[in-house]
Structure 1
């Protein structure tokens, strides 16, 4: 099945849902710099998928998927830090890390499926 719109990409859908959850978890956090950084990184995941999909080549799409994967790693790293700083409980941190690992695996599968 050929994907015709970025909105149909499972990784994009899950990344959007994940970002809403990240915003919810940190909306009351007083550490503005931390909150801003993790929210921006989370937003970048789905935005890079969307932007890459609408580029003119498979190579560009792959490049943007790798950027999206990098944002996943950034968010994951910040989630570990959020737990250490007591911004999130261990349980919530592990729950979100499990989701970001799943999204990363989906993106990796998408990267592997694109032949240049």
Structure 2
């Protein structure tokens, strides 16, 4: 299977695009850089993992992607508190990171068997 066919990759890519678009004109370059990098890290690690030769390597990169979900979620919470992210949008994004994380966990568990 190609990573482009994975629902978890598609959802991660969609979220990444939304984050980039939201912060396109942000002048807080530190926050913008950090939040966009963590969003991009999710999709990138899924892709890199799926190009690896072994399930062990795939699981390692899926685990990195899962960690990036938590990092992004933490940044979303901060973004809401400081007024950079609308609360409703932030809650939707946070829920999406939780869903993506669960999907990644399921893929990892399947590969470990």
Q: TM-score range by the shorter chain?
A: over 0.9
- Partner residue of 1:114? 111
Mean CA deviation greater in 4-13 or 74-83:
4-13
Tell me whether 1:101 sits opposite 2:93 in the alignment: no
- Partner residue of 2:25? 28
Q: By how many angstroms is 1:29 displaced?
A: 1.5
2 CA distance for matches of 1:50 and 1:12? 8
1 CA distance for matches of 2:25 and 2:9? 26
Q: By how many angstroms is 1:25 displaced?
A: 1.2
Q: By how many angstroms is 1:9 displaced?
A: 1.1
How high is the TM-score relative to the length of structure 2?
0.96
Q: Deviations over 1:34-89 (max 9, x none)?
A: 00111011011011011011111100000000000010000000000001111012
Residue ranges of structure 1 left out of the alignment (5+ in a row)? none
Q: By how many angstroms is 1:115 displaced?
A: 2.5
1 CA distance for matches of 2:39 and 2:83? 20
- Partner residue of 2:81? 84
Q: By how many angstroms is 1:98 displaced?
A: 1.1
